[in-house]
């Protein structure tokens, strides 16, 4: 498993929108049990796709401007970015298999 770094507004452009790799962004909140359960799944995904996909997390409560600009209305929400554009979204929890399947289609 690979720890998923938390990023903030000031890092979003460089680490997600300008990333040379596709990026998987996890919008979460500390009070959310589903978000906590998803953490270990994302750590596994980060390890599997290390060097090919950047996996980061954003605390929606700490970065409300990002949550609002990306219409985050429920958490957890996963956004998949390729070339700086959102290409897919999962709202709610998702299995490792579902996340990997989506990443595989985006990497193809």
Question: Is residue 103 scored above 90 in pLDDT?
Answer: yes
pLDDT tens for residues 50-85?
999 999 999 999 999 999 999 999 999 999 999 999
The pTM score is 0.94
Sign, CA torsion 8/9/14/15:
positive
| 92: alpha, beta or left? (left if phi > 0; alpha if psi -120 to 50) | left
Average pLDDT of the residues of the chain:
95
For the chain, give the percent of residues with pLDDT over 90.
96
CATH code for the part of the protein at 9-107: 3.40.30.10
Do residues 55 and 26 lie in contact, with contact meaning Cβ atoms separated by under 8 Å? Answer: yes
Tell me the domain boundaries of the chain.
9-107
């Amino acid at each position: 498993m690979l720890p998923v770094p938390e990023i903030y507004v000031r890092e979003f452009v460089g680490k997600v929108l300008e990333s040379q790799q596709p990026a998987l962004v996890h919008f979460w909140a500390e009070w959310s049990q589903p978000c906590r359960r998803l953490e270990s799944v994302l750590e596994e995904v980060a390890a599997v796709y290390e060097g090919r996909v950047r996996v980061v997390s954003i605390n929606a409560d700490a970065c409300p401007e990002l949550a609002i600009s990306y219409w985050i209305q429920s958490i957890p929400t996963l956004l998949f970015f390729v070339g700086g554009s959102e290409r897919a979204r999962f709202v709610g929890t998702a299995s490792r298999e579902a996340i990997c399947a989506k990443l595989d289609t985006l990497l193809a």
